[in-house]
Amino acid sequence: MTYLHNIGTYFLMIAEMFRKPTKWKVMKQLILKDIDDLIINSLGIVAFISFFVGGVVTIQTSLNIDNPLIPKYLVGFATRQSIILEFAPTFISIIMAGKVGSFITSSIGTMRVTEQIDALEVMGINSLNYLVFPKFIALLIYPFVITIAMVLGIIGGMIASVYGGFSTLQDYITGIQYDFIPFQVAYAYIKTMVFAFILATVPSYHGYYMTGGALEVGKASTTSFVWTSVLIIVLNYILTQMLLA
Backbone Cα Rg of the chain: 21
pLDDT tens digits along 114-168: 888 889 888 888 889 999 999 999 999 999 999 999 999 999 999 998 888 888 8
SS3 201: helix
Q: What percent of the chain has pLDDT over 90?
A: 52
The number of C-alpha atoms within 13 Å of 61 and in the hemisphere containing its C-beta is: 28
**At 109, which amino acid appears?**
G
Q: Which residues contact 59 (CB under 8 A, 6 or more apart)?
A: 160, 164, 166
Q: What is the DSSP letter of 113?
A: H
For the segment 104-113, the average pLDDT, to the nearest whole number, is: 91
Q: How many residues does the chain have?
A: 245
For the segment 181-205, the average pLDDT, to the nearest whole number, is: 93
User: Residue 53's CB: how many other CB atoms inside 10 A?
Assistant: 21
pLDDT band at 241 (very low <50, low <70, confident <90, very high): very high
The dihedral through the CA atoms of 96, 102, 104, 105 has a sign that is positive
Closest among 131, 111, 141, 122 to 36, alpha carbons compared: 141
**At 34, which amino acid appears?**
D
Residue 236 pLDDT exceeds 90: yes
Closest among 17, 2, 1 to 202, alpha carbons compared: 17
For the segment 75-89, the average pLDDT, to the nearest whole number, is: 89
